Amino acid sequence: MPKTAGIILIGNEILSGKTVDANAAYLCRELRELGVEVRRVVVIPDEVSLIAEEVAAFSKAFDLVFTSGGVGPTHDDVTIEGVARAMGVPVVRHPELVALLERYYRDKVTDAALRMAEIPEGAELITGNGLRFPNVAMRNVYVLPGVPEIFRRKFDAMRERFRDAPIHLKNVFVRIGEGTLADYLNRLLDGFPLLLVGSYPELSNPEYQVKVTLESRDRGYLEQALADFLGRLPGDAVVKVT
Amino acid sequence: MPKTAGIILIGNEILSGKTVDANAAYLCRELRELGVEVRRVVVIPDEVSLIAEEVAAFSKAFDLVFTSGGVGPTHDDVTIEGVARAMGVPVVRHPELVALLERYYRDKVTDAALRMAEIPEGAELITGNGLRFPNVAMRNVYVLPGVPEIFRRKFDAMRERFRDAPIHLKNVFVRIGEGTLADYLNRLLDGFPLLLVGSYPELSNPEYQVKVTLESRDRGYLEQALADFLGRLPGDAVVKVT
């Protein structure tokens, strides 16, 4: 069975429209490229009980869970507490992280800053690949910060541990509308029921009307399905295949 | 009690990283401007049972629910079916929508295209404000398409029905780090426990280090809190207030 994943974005700033999240889109793309199927993304407020509920549910439902946001020294940074509560463990201060913070802030480390040394008891610290500050994983839950530059750097440092069998993709761009296309897609799915097929109309593109995506983990199956689909479509309907 | 809202994005293309959603960010911003509090956003696959489950839960939990995506003529457009199942009603073909489609496609209307005339039984059609095709609302659930241009046009046409008391906002940009700032924020919240306070570090901005947001539905309370906060901060810490 290929790996599944869920993503939990924690942040009032996203829900209130002050910030546009970039981390979910990044992670969806990266995980797909790694062969991991993202099944759910959710955005919730900075509230411990909601975070705990969501993390517990995601951790059971998916192989991998990623959280974004709510880690840091201020009052609204409650993700670690939420993850700990989801797992039924206390929050503890990790001596290795305390030492890192003391080195980073020199002698000016405040109590607030030391909150960043807190982890759920039993969490794994993932170091290496140039990380100044380790990643924190509690069982299958990876806790990442909301700031996009740091989010990417921290994910990239551990991305290879998530790699699975690749999902192959073909895009067919057509110049017929979805109303006509629908019948061709239904016939394609009759012949290739395991194929993942998407159909995305593009209103303002002068080149084509719909992008059709065909996907499978089995490259041979995908190639056969593509040939079948192209063979049925009217010859002048296909703009390009990528 | 101010109105709450939840947003359900339906689309494999978002989860698989092929498309970057723009509708949730748009809707979060618009609803905030209207005084509506978005409490949850979720992205789920094009699967009827998942859509039904999610719509049922959102419809109970929030005053307003918006879905984006999964409406159209192809096999992966199953939102209407999901909403109907959530509400325990059948899907029916609405004669007014059939007539509109027949006029739009002239005599070339296909069976697939006629799927766009289907609604959950008992749904409301919302017309007016230049809409060519009416909006569909099933109780408190508003069904919108995924294509951003159409999503916006359709939401804008009915936005005024959602207006609530405004939420007032002040932004304070500071040139101190979150480690130091945290204590000032905690003291602010001690004095103004009803204030909504956010703290957003900005790594690559040369002007300031953190944007602090203060929010309240009570303008007087917000002004008092702002004065208190500015009075306590070191004079050279404040870059600007907007």
Partner-chain contact A179 B105, CB within 8 Å: yes
Angle at B231 between CA B225 and CA B234, to 5 degrees: 130
Residues of A in contact with B15 (CB under 8 A): 28, 37-41
Q: In terms of domains, do B130 and B149 share one?
A: yes
Dihedral (CA of B69, B71, B77, B83) sign: positive
Q: Are A81 and A48 in contact (CB under 8 A)?
A: yes
Domain final position from A162, A189, A224:
A162
Mutation for A interface: B12, B18, B49, B74, most A CBs within 10 A: B74
Six token digits for residue B201: 């570090």
Q: In terms of domains, do B213 and B130 share one?
A: no
Does residue B107 have a pLDDT over 90? no
**Confidence category of residue B108, pLDDT binned at 50, 70, 90:** confident
Encode A140-160 in three state secondary structure: CEEEECCCHHHHHHHHHCCHH
ipTM of the complex: 0.93
Average pLDDT in the B121-130 region? 94
- Pairwise CA distance, residues B92 & B212, whole Å: 50
Q: In terms of domains, do A113 and A130 share one?
A: yes
Partner-chain contact A110 B182, CB within 8 Å: yes
Q: Which residue of B has its CA nearest to A44?
A: B40
Please name the amino acid found at residue A84.
A
Partner-chain contact B15 A29, CB within 8 Å: no
pLDDT in tens, B174-187: 999 888 899 999 99
**Confidence category of residue A128, pLDDT binned at 50, 70, 90:** confident
Q: Which residue of A has its CA nearest to B101?
A: A179
Q: In terms of domains, do B206 and B229 share one?
A: yes
| Residue A185's CATH number | 3.30.70.1130
Does residue B208 have a pLDDT over 80? yes
Q: In terms of domains, do A172 and A237 share one?
A: yes
Residues of A in contact with B24 (CB under 8 A): 43
- The predicted pLDDT at position B53 comes to 98
In degrees to the nearest 10, what's the CA dihedral of A34, A37, A43, A46? Answer: -60
Partner-chain contact B178 A73, CB within 8 Å: yes
Q: Which has the higher per-residue pLDDT, B129 or B64?
A: B64
Domain final position from B119, B135, B162:
B162
| Residue B106's CATH number | 3.40.980.10
| DSSP state letter for B117 | G
**Confidence category of residue A75, pLDDT binned at 50, 70, 90:** confident
Q: Tell me what the pLDDT averaged over chain A comes to.
A: 95
Q: In terms of domains, do B206 and B236 share one?
A: yes
Partner-chain contact B15 A39, CB within 8 Å: yes
In chain B, % of residues over pLDDT 90: 85
Residues 6+ apart with CB under 8 A from A233: A172, A174, A176, A184
Q: In terms of domains, do A142 and A62 share one?
A: yes
Domain final position from B162, B183, B209:
B162
Q: Are B189 and B195 in contact (CB under 8 A)?
A: yes
Does residue A1 have a pLDDT over 80? no
Residues in chain B: 242
Burial of A102 (C-beta count, 10 Å sphere; 0-12/13-18/19+)? middle
Boundaries of domain holding A57: 4-162
Q: How many domains does chain B have?
A: 2
pLDDT in tens, B143-174: 999 999 999 999 999 999 999 999 999 999 99
